[in-house]
Amino acid sequence: MARLEGKTALITGGGNGIGKAAAIRFAAEGSQIIVADFNLDAGEDVAQEIRRLGGEAKAVSGDVGDESSVRQMVDVGIAAFGKIDVLLNSAGGGSTRDGAVTDLELDEFWRTIRVDLYGTLLCCRMVIPEMVKSGGGSIINISSLRAVIGTQGADAYTASKGGVLAMTRAIAMQWAENGIRANVMAPGVVLTERVSAFIKKDNPVYQKSLLGPSDPIDVANLALYLASDESRKVTGAVMRLDGGASIY
């Protein structure tokens, strides 16, 4: 039996990078997929690819940092598939406008907080009641190794990912009795198209990795485990996927 047979997953940021890899991987394991991305063309391409491979998917456009937009993503997903068993919050990411607290562009701080932290909060806030109704689910958030070990040079992003990590544990505590698990992945460098365009080999996380950077599929495979019932006793976990960078 496929590992996600009978499940429906809402994947934000599903149009590119880690979200895209997870959407295609989850679909191959039997999950219906709601591909939510503010880049609708990218989301549609992923949904079409899933359908071409014999899966079921629906693309929906929207901004995770906007309450009415997230409401619409969830409503479209429920209308299409009736329930949401898995929420993977992958929309977000840092930018080169970030830096040390003394140098970073202040509007970049708010952009990162709005998308990565508040966007994750909004999606959890609107999906949790659906999961409660259907008897449980798995929430998978994405933090960063930067929130686990000390690094420098991306302080807005680091702060927002620290918030995601702590918030995920709070969610795990609050809704365990409703059958909802919440875990957070903390990847090091993942060579998505976006990151490949700007990553430098002197990046502190890149340098510390013993096994080298990951590919999006590596993160998708970890997310698959967390989405599936194989991880039914795992909640509140911070799963580091960093090629050994945090051994130090």
Ligand X SMILES: NC(=O)c1ccc[n+]([C@@H]2O[C@H](COP(=O)([O-])OP(=O)(O)OC[C@H]3O[C@@H](n4cnc5c(N)ncnc54)[C@H](O)[C@@H]3O)[C@@H](O)[C@H]2O)c1
Q: Which residues bind ligand X (CB under 6 A)?
A: 12-13, 15-19, 37-39, 42, 63-65, 90-93, 115-116, 119, 142, 144, 187, 189-190, 192-195
Least distance to ligand X from the beta carbon of 113, Å? Answer: 12
**Cα–chain-centroid distance for residue 77?**
17
d(CA 246, CA 150): 10
d(CA 213, CA 197): 14
Nearer Cβ to ligand X (136/244) = 244
Nearer Cβ to ligand X (131/189) = 189
**Cα–chain-centroid distance for residue 45?**
19
Q: Which of 241, 95, 90, 245 is nearest to 155 (CA)?
A: 95
Q: Catalytic: 157? A: yes
Least distance to ligand X from the beta carbon of 149, Å? Answer: 12
User: Are the C-beta atoms of 73 and 12 separated by less than 8 Å?
Assistant: yes
HEC assignment per residue over 189-211:
CECCHHHHHHCCCCCHHHHHCCC
Nearer Cβ to ligand X (8/144) = 144
Nearer Cβ to ligand X (88/128) = 88
User: Are the C-beta atoms of 78 and 85 separated by less than 8 Å?
Assistant: no
**Cα–chain-centroid distance for residue 245?**
20
User: Are the C-beta atoms of 88 and 223 separated by less than 8 Å?
Assistant: yes
Beta bridge partner(s), residue 180: 137
Query: Which residue has its beta carbon closest to ligand X?
Result: 17
- Count of CB atoms situated within 10 Å of the CB of 13: 28
User: Are the C-beta atoms of 23 and 11 separated by less than 8 Å?
Assistant: yes
Nearer Cβ to ligand X (81/206) = 206
Nearer Cβ to ligand X (39/178) = 39
User: Are the C-beta atoms of 160 and 214 separated by less than 8 Å?
Assistant: no
- Count of CB atoms situated within 10 Å of the CB of 191: 16
Query: Active-site positions?
Result: 157
